[in-house]
Amino acid sequence: MFEINKRDGLARLGKIKTSHGILETPTLLPVVNPKILTLSMEELAECGAQGIITNSYIIYKNPELKEVAEEKGVHGLVNWSGPIMTDSGTFQSHVYGEIEIKPEEILEFQKKIGVDIGTVLDVFCEPETRFEQAKEELTETQKRIELADKNKGNIFLAAPIQGGRHLDLRTKAAEMASTTNAEIFPIGGVVPMMEKNHFKILAEVIIAAKKGLDSSRPVHLFGCGHPILFALATFLGCDLFDSASYAKFASRDSLMFTWGTRNLDELEELPGEFSAAPGMTVKKLKGLEKKERQKIIAKHNLRVSFAEIRRIKQAIHDGLLWELVETRLRASPALMKVFDVIKNEIEWISQFEPAYRYKTPLKTGVESDIRPIFTSLTNSFDNGNMTHPYFGKIPTYLSETYPFHPGLLQEDLEGWRMEEWGIERVKVILDYQFGNGIGDLFAKGNTELVISRKTKRLRNLLLDGKHIVSLSHRRGLFILQEGGAELLHKHSKMPQFRVVVNPETAEFNKNGKSVFCKFIEDIDSELKIMDECIVVTPDDELVAFGKLVVSPKELELGQQGMAVRVRAGFEN
């Protein structure tokens, strides 16, 4: 039900396939209260909503709403044809105390009204709850998740991850929930943290949960409705958000932006992000009747929210999510504290970092220094003759190779020049990409460099007439071909460069079929997403080669789907 199409570290672009349509993640589910509609369903769709979330408990407790929902279904009740997720009443228990319904009752009601994604009635764990009590509440929540898992019927089940601010409990809750067949994991109990601007704790809680979660299933950050947080949450591996904030903030004349919140009384001008009403001015907006003004502000808040979601998606496409997150974190002192969390968890985060991105990495401030790409490569060359502003001395042979290719930094590179293509340059790049000695290995014999007549750039390296590697001009890195894969295999030992697959499925890989996660028995833990790799059986028979599209850590956390995009196989 969750197809991951692209990733940038922990962030991923994916599709959740429900019975009423697809949710393209990351995305926001606007909260709809069937008793009070601030915006119509058409207006929600116009703002960018693909799906919505409503509260099954509120519907259940209202006789009129319940009757209509049971007769027409929840989609008929709210007049929405797309995916609908429902909350279970847990948040109401946080606000009002005990609620009068049993977990099995609200689950059956969610099934009866035909929701796409139903949520377990978990126990809301307050951030200040002591460890022992939080542990007891966690045990009760897990019992409810397991019971719901057995009786969920045809709906997707959302199994919330609780544990308060106790990080070990969050990880434990995630591990236990991952043993069930629940399709979605919401991280719950975090609204009080966001309301009090405890973003540092929020980040710690998300990471603690991610450490225990099955990475093949989407993660929902409950109650995350402010666009200032979407980039951070996506960066940490969240796929879904829900928001009542667009309407709540509007009810008190508060406008949301990616850099903060402003009350209408504070504004003298409407910032450029305001597009909810063409030609509107602050003066005109202040002069409107309250209901009309509230609707316009709500629409603005939602438009800004979905605009940020689109900006995040493009950043993932470009490989520039780090840069966007750093910019967003500088919006307030409370958010700046999250840099400390990232620094403390950088070793874990780096396990999900790709071998390369599609754009040259940029430093946006001193906080950028904690990024793995900078900490691992700065001053790592002994024979550098070009000075890079980020990486120190590097060989000029790497001047067009990721991440050293200059992009916007060309004028800042001392000694930069376009190098001619020769075998020495090829060997330097090969050693950098695959490890010392690979350059000599791939050039030991009669080498031929195939140069493009049009661009004058290297296209292919041949050794004794056999195709070894091709060059990606976009990244300045090499792409393995048959000869190169054979050489890597022959001159290295298990598990280096290797993805080890089940012998029974190896035949498919020999025929050029991709490798899927569930058939992998071992993997070189040093490999990164997007690295070139070879595919072998447990007996080290070479069966294929290609590009790794998941990280070893994700495999450990239960990732499903494609693991290696096979370029070619070695048929018998």
Tokens 């200059």 -> residue: 406
Classify 276 in phi/psi space as left (phi over 0), alpha (psi -120 to 50) or beta: alpha
Band (pLDDT 50/70/90 cuts) for residue 88 is: confident
- 105-160 tens-digit pLDDT: 999 999 999 999 999 999 888 889 999 999 999 999 999 999 999 999 999 999 99
Supply the pLDDT for residue 220: 97
- Residue pair 157/88 in contact by the 8 Å Cβ criterion: no
Supply the pLDDT for residue 495: 94
| For residue 93, pLDDT beyond 70 | no
Band (pLDDT 50/70/90 cuts) for residue 96 is: low
- 13-46 tens-digit pLDDT: 999 999 999 999 999 999 999 888 889 999 999 9
203-230: average pLDDT: 95
Per the annotation, the verdict on 122 as an active-site residue is no
Q: What is the mean pLDDT of the chain?
A: 92
Sign of the Cα pseudo-torsion (159, 214, 229, 277, in order): negative
Question: Residue ranges per domain, the chain?
Answer: 2-341, 345-412, 423-483, 492-569
Cis ω for the linkage preceding 103 (within 30 of 0)? no
The β-bridge partners of 186 are 220
Nearest CA among 164, 159, 98, 171 for reference residue 136: 164
- 216-226 tens-digit pLDDT: 899 999 999 89
Architecture of domain 345-412: Alpha-Beta Complex (3.90)
- Residue pair 173/162 in contact by the 8 Å Cβ criterion: yes
465-483: average pLDDT: 94
| For residue 558, pLDDT beyond 70 | yes
Nearest CA among 6, 4, 9, 5 for reference residue 351: 9
**Superfamily of chain region 2-341:** Queuine tRNA-ribosyltransferase-like (3.20.20.105)
Supply the pLDDT for residue 39: 92
| For residue 419, pLDDT beyond 90 | no
The β-bridge partners of 12 are 7
Q: What percent of the chain has pLDDT over 70?
A: 97
Supply the pLDDT for residue 408: 58
Nearest CA among 472, 455, 475 for reference residue 360: 475
Q: Which fold has domain 423-483?
A: Nuclear Transport Factor 2; Chain: A, (3.10.450)
| For residue 359, pLDDT beyond 90 | no
Q: Which CATH class is domain 492-569?
A: mainly beta
Classify 543 in phi/psi space as left (phi over 0), alpha (psi -120 to 50) or beta: alpha
| For residue 417, pLDDT beyond 80 | no
- 343-355 tens-digit pLDDT: 999 999 999 999 9
373-402: average pLDDT: 86
SS3 for 440? helix
- Residue pair 321/231 in contact by the 8 Å Cβ criterion: yes
- 236-265 tens-digit pLDDT: 999 999 989 999 999 999 999 999 999 999
> For residue 316, which amino acid is it?
I
Of the residues 87, 122, 239, 531, which is catalytic? 87
317-326: average pLDDT: 94
Query: What six digits make up the tokens of 322?
Result: 């780090």
Tokens 């007049």 -> residue: 79
The β-bridge partners of 28 are 241
